[in-house]
């Protein structure tokens, strides 16, 4: 999701008009998960789990409540695994330290 309608929101990207899919960019793979396959999300400020029909997305970081808000509105458009130095940047803003994707079931 690299378009003008996508804006940076902390450690992830949102589309204020709503996104059709979530693009998860890892170091060795990229996943595009349609929101039509989204089942539920759970978590808190330090960890979030996004459950789709075929894959689970695990996110670890800090202040992830805002991420869950974007998930609930299907505004989350892109989520990227941080490079090593980014894992330690926080400065009071939402911070993603780790992203993992695994097949469901």
The confidence score (pLDDT) of residue 89 equals 56
Assess contact for 45 and 62: CB atoms under 8 A: yes
Q: How far is CA 61 from CA 22, 44, 94, in A?
A: 18, 10, 8
Length of the chain: 105
Per-residue pLDDT of the chain (105 residues; tens, 9 = 90+): 333 333 344 478 998 888 899 999 999 999 999 999 999 999 999 999 999 999 999 999 988 999 999 999 999 999 999 876 555 555 667 888 999 999 987
Question: What pLDDT does 105 receive?
Answer: 75
């Amino acid at each position: 999701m690299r378009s003008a309608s996508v804006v940076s929101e902390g450690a992830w990207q949102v589309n204020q008009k709503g996104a059709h899919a979530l693009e998860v960019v890892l170091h060795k793979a990229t996943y595009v998960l349609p929101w039509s396959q989204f089942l539920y999300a759970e978590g808190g400020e330090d960890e979030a789990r996004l459950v789709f029909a075929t894959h689970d997305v695990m996110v670890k970081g800090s202040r992830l409540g805002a991420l869950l808000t974007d998930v609930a509105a299907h505004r989350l458009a892109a989520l990227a695994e941080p490079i090593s130095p980014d894992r330690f940047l926080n400065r009071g803003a939402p911070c993603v330290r780790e992203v993992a994707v695994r097949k469901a079931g």
